[in-house]
Amino acid sequence: MGLTLIESRTAQDGTILCQVQDEEGQKYLFEPLNLTILPKDMMYVEILRELRQILRTPVEWPAGLKIFHYQRVEKCGPEWGLLFAYDQELWAHWLEKGSTLDPAGVVAAARTLLPLVPTALELDSAWTGFYPGDLAPLGTAGWGLLDPRVQQLLAPYREGGERRDLFSAPEVRAGSPRTEAAYLYTLGLCLYQLATGQFPFPLQNRRETITAMLREEPLDPRYLQPQVGAGLAQLILELLRRKAQLRPAAEACALALAQAEQDQTLVADPEEARRFQADTLA
C-alpha cells in the first residue's frame, strides 16, 4: 500500500499525527511509531509483531464512546506507523492534545473515562491505567480515546514514555491485583494533570516520585490552578487517596460530578480563586 504524506501536526504533548493518502487518493490518519530503537533491531521487529497481534484482537468498548481503532501497521516513506480512518474532528483538534484544560474540560474528560473502568478491568495487564496522553480532543464532539493497549505497548520505546509507568496505584506497586479502585486512582492522576498541567508528585527522581506516591498526600490542585472549584478538587483528591478503600467507586464519582455541577462548585467563584492565587504567591 503506497502512502503519500500530505501534512503532519505536532500536539502540545509532542505526539505527531499525519494526514496521508493512498494511491487511489483515499485519506487516512497515520501516527508514526517514533521509537527510540532502530528498525533493524530485533526488538523493533518484535514490537511490530505484538502490534499486529493487538490489532487482530477486538475489544468490546462501551457504546457511545469514540475509540480510535488502528487498522494496521504501515510504512509512509521510511517511517513505520499506525494507519487508521480519517477523522476530521481529531485532525482539526490534534494540536490541542496535551493542553491544560479548564474545569469544564476536565469534567468532560472524566465523564468520558469513567464508563471505561469495567473494560479496563477486563483488559488488566493490556491496559494498566488511565493516561492523559491517550485522550484525543474532538472540539464540540467531546473526547475520544486512542487505543490504550497500543499506546501502552509503545510507551517504553518512545521518548518520555517512562512517565506512563507512574500512572499506577500504590497497592498495585505493592503487589495487589488491579481493582476498580486502582483504575480510579490512575483516573485521579489523569484528571489532576489535565487540570493543572502537572503530575501531583515531584518528578525530579523516579525513586522519590514513587516514595511520595506511597507516603504523601498530593497538593490541592487549586494551588496550581485556582480556577478549579471545590467540588472538582475534592473529587480528584479523593481519587488519589493512598488507601484503596477510601476512594469513591465509579458510580459515586459520576454522582459527585453531577452534584458539584448542581452546586456550581466545579469552577471556583472569584473570591475562592483569588484566595488560592494569593496563597500561591505568598
How do residues 126-153 score in pLDDT, each as one tens digit? Answer: 999 999 999 999 999 899 999 999 999 9
Which segments in the chain show pLDDT lower than 70?
1, 279-282
> How confident is the model at residue 63, as a pLDDT?
84
* Cell numbers given for 231: 467540588
- Any bridge partners for residue 34, and if so which? none
Determine phi and psi for 145, rounding to 5 degrees: -135, 125
What is the C-alpha to C-alpha distance for residues 36 and 74, in angstroms, rounded to an integer? 18
Answer for the pair 268, 276: CB distance below 8 angstroms, yes or no.
yes
Contacts (Cβ under 8 Å, ≥6 apart) of 251: none
Residue whose cell numbers read 502512502 = 3
pLDDT tens figures, 182-196: 999 999 999 999 999
> How confident is the model at residue 278, as a pLDDT?
79
What is the C-alpha to C-alpha distance for residues 222 and 199, in angstroms, rounded to an integer? 13
What is the 8-class DSSP label of residue 78?
T
What is the C-alpha to C-alpha distance for residues 224 and 244, in angstroms, rounded to an integer? 25
What is the 8-class DSSP label of residue 164?
G
> How confident is the model at residue 182, as a pLDDT?
97
> How confident is the model at residue 281, as a pLDDT?
62
Give this prediction's pTM.
0.94
> How confident is the model at residue 65, as a pLDDT?
87
> How confident is the model at residue 282, as a pLDDT?
58
